[in-house]
Amino acid sequence: KQEVTQIPAALSVPEGENLVLNCSFTDSAIYNLQWFRQDPGKGLTSLLLIQSSQREQTSGRLNASLDKSSGRSTLYIAASQPGDSATYLCAVSGGGRDDKIIFGKGTRLHILP
């Protein structure tokens, strides 16, 4: 059974710092991995999607990497801003006909002004 773990559960960093969020998964037979952002009381917004054949994806100050063989992904946020404060969720999608997506519990990020 696929399990997704995110470490740390919570993180506080001063504004302007670069930071890394971690995600690990137990079954490497995935189709893709996504990073989502969730603001308090809101739904999820997709940030980056990495296909299993890809190593990384970039969008603005965000860079996500994928090492499928080791079951790991990282989300790198450059020059953090207070507006980056949110919960970041990692999710993996199984291959073949499996349309199920498994989420991690998230990392709650707080950027200190």
Give the tokens for residue 63.
Answer: 């860079």
In the complex, least distance from residue 64 CB atom to other proteins, rounded to whole angstroms: 13
Q: Check if the beta carbon of residue 21 is closer than 8 Å to that of residue 74.
A: yes
Does position 62 interact with other proteins (CB under 8 A)? The reply is no
Residues 6+ apart with CB under 8 A from 60: none
Would you tell me how many other CB atoms lie within 10 Å of the CB of residue 24?
Answer: 17
Binding test (CB under 8 A) with other proteins, winner from 43, 60, 83, 113: 43
# binding residues, other proteins (CB under 8 A):
28
- In the complex, the residues that contact other proteins under the rule CB under 8 A are 4, 31-32, 34, 41-46, 49, 51, 89, 91, 93-106
